[in-house]
Amino acid sequence: SFYFRPCSEDSSYETIDILPDIASSPSIKLTDDTPVSNRTEPLTGEEFQSFLDQDGRLVNEIGLRKAIFLGSVDSSIRKQVWQFLFGLYPCTSTKRERDALLIDYIIKYHELKNRWKTMLVIDSKPGDTEIKTKYTPRPLDLSLLDQTNISEHINTPDMEQKIEFMKIQAQVYVQRQRLDIEELKNQIRVIDKDVPRTDRDEEFFRGAGNPRLTELREILITFAGFSPDLGYAQGMNDILARFLYVMGSEVETFWCFYHYMEKIKEDFMEVGMVKKIELVKMLLGEIDNSLLHHFECHDMGNLFFCHRWLLLGFKREFTFQDSLKCFEILSSQHLELSSMEAETAVRREEMKEFANTGDLVLYLFFWLSFLKLF
Amino acid sequence: MSGKRKPDLKVIIMGDYAVGKTSLVCRYIEDKFIKHEPTIGAAFFLKQWGPYNVAVWDTAGDERYTGLSHFYCRNAGAAILAYDMSNPQTFESLWARFMPLLNSSTEKCLKIVVGTKMDLIPPEERDITLEEGRKLAHELNEGLDISKLACEPYFETSSKDGSHVSEVFECIFQYCLPLSGDQRSKFGLSTSTVDLYEKEPKRATAKKGCC
């Protein structure tokens, strides 16, 4: 007998002369009592508040991750949620602590940016006024703090002293970073080719001279400059565009991006990406072995076509708005079955099988011997 | 019985980032010129050439995934090595990066060097001369009998105005999968190579392609 399935290449039906592999069943059979939740509506602001305590700590992180996994997030609270999800702020931080952390983020980013700008000016030819005006370091901008509780204390002598101290700390931190200016100039060339072609169909990035493009550019240069082992790679612009759209401010976007890249930087290295695709292959073998076999028959068994999906979290496969949902769901890292639950489900299946064969004595004997071990 | 249809020819496009690889394929396949996002991994296009199927693989310019590039080169019948005519560095990349890549994996692979963005650079300002381009193209094909190639293995194109884009592909296809005059007319293709230049765009007055 033949097995039919739509062919992805030309959407016609084609005949595959192999049978689906019925003999090899997945190790966990999903039955009615396997705990699998239904999809829900996006998480609302009210529900999100219920995960926080009165000081603003995220006390129910597991609950939040599960809610995101099942239904994504309402766009009105997306920024707040992503701050936790992508590690901008620790879940255990209070609102007050987050405000303090934000000042630190602002100052550090400011110093990082000034460092490469200054170095580009020093490196430029004496008469090059264009570079000088383009890269003259700007004064520290603390306007981002206006929305926080700090805003009213910002001009007190106490606070000013604190900020001065933080500046010095940040300068020490930045001076310690390695920065290869020649290499950075190469990276800037690639960045300048990619930024103008990043999500330009989106209203947010549309139009000539859109200031968002400058923000993308400066974040990417800062990141590339201070990540010597990784630098800039094509695709980072796509990832960054999502963060900038959601976070809005350049500083918060940089640090979200920075933390996210820390986690996934292996994807931008060949070994890491090949390993990841290999995992997809194993997973597909488990879930739909005949599909994997089909790919193998068509010289696509290595599944390299997943590369972009995995690297960008399906960003190019969906509309921009849907890709945001997709991104947060993928990043929720909620496991529908924890390893304990999976173990229990397997046990339950084994028990059923024993019960079905009717060999109850053997079954009891098995469990008794098991218990005796303890 | 099997419905498998393996492509009869695999063509791979390589070259530095942002030289216009995707634009070149899209101009040929869809006859459109639009801005493209940087390619991640590779993109795949299928093109009908007479009775044959040709698979065109458009690869990413980023140099991080050389191992993957080796895979994309495998079994390629022809390779298009693209460089940006307004950026001589991208021509250097063909020497430095892509020549070693191709030599190791595909000896019998036809290599065509293609300059892109011709519309951006006035003839008197160009850094890479026609001779240099042709020289590289011939060196790349050393050890391969290209006497049957109907044209020089070197083209200068503009995906923006369409100059010489289809000529690149048709020259490759005709070499790898020769069609007789009868076959060509049967499938609605122009019957002589001279005809290919019929719709010579206004801009490309400086040179007459490469035939």
Best of B39, B47, B64, B97 to disrupt the A interface (most A CBs within 10 Å) is B64
Half-sphere exposure of A319 (CA within 13 A, CB side): 4
Residue B201 is predicted with a pLDDT of: 45
pLDDT tens digits, A117-169: 999 999 988 888 888 888 888 889 998 998 887 877 888 899 899 999 999 99
Q: Does A267 touch chain B (CB under 8 A)?
A: no
Name the DSSP class of B189: -
- Interfacial A residues in 304-333 facing B (CB < 8 Å): 304-305, 307-308, 311-312, 316
Return the number of other C-beta atoms located less than 10 Å from residue A225's C-beta: 25
* Residue A358 binned pLDDT confidence (cut-offs 50, 70, 90): low
Phi-psi label, residue A11: left if phi above 0, alpha if psi -120 to 50, beta otherwise? left
Rounded Cα distance, B110 and B56, in Å:
14
The C-alpha of A241 sits at a distance from chain B's nearest C-alpha, in angstroms, of 12
Rg for chain B, CA atoms, rounded: 16
Residue B141 has pLDDT above 70, yes or no: yes
Which of A188 and A149 is assigned the larger pLDDT? Answer: A188
Residue B1 is predicted with a pLDDT of: 39
Q: Which stretches of B38-141 are DSSP H helices?
A: 66-73, 88-93, 99-105, 130-140
Q: Does A2 touch chain B (CB under 8 A)?
A: yes
Residue closest to A306 by CA, chosen among B54, B58, B40: B40
Counting every residue, how long is chain B? 211
In the numeric block, the tokens 């701050």 are attached to A83
Q: Does B40 touch chain A (CB under 8 A)?
A: yes
Phi-psi label, residue A202: left if phi above 0, alpha if psi -120 to 50, beta otherwise? beta
3-state secondary structure of B81: strand
**Is the Cβ–Cβ distance between B36 and B22 less than 8 Å?**
yes
pLDDT tens digits, B41-56: 999 899 999 999 999 9
* A305 vs B contacts (CB less than 8 Å): 41-42, 44
Phi-psi label, residue B200: left if phi above 0, alpha if psi -120 to 50, beta otherwise? beta
The C-alpha of A82 sits at a distance from chain B's nearest C-alpha, in angstroms, of 25
Q: Is this model's pTM higher than 0.80 or not?
A: yes
CA distances from residue A164 to A161, A170, A173 in whole angstroms, order as listed = 5, 10, 14
**Cβ-defined contact of A312 to B1 (cutoff 8 Å):** no
pLDDT tens digits, B99-116: 888 765 567 899 999 999
Q: Please list the residues that pair with B46 across neighbouring strands.
A: B55
Q: Does A9 touch chain B (CB under 8 A)?
A: yes
Q: Does A201 touch chain B (CB under 8 A)?
A: no
The backbone torsions φ and ψ at residue A11, rounded to the nearest 5 degrees and listed phi first, read 55, 10
- Interfacial B residues in 13-32 facing A (CB < 8 Å): 17-18
pLDDT tens digits, B150-183: 899 999 999 999 999 999 999 999 999 999 888 8
This complex has an ipTM of 0.82
CATH topology (fold) of B9-186:
Rossmann fold (3.40.50)
Mean pLDDT across A42-46: 97
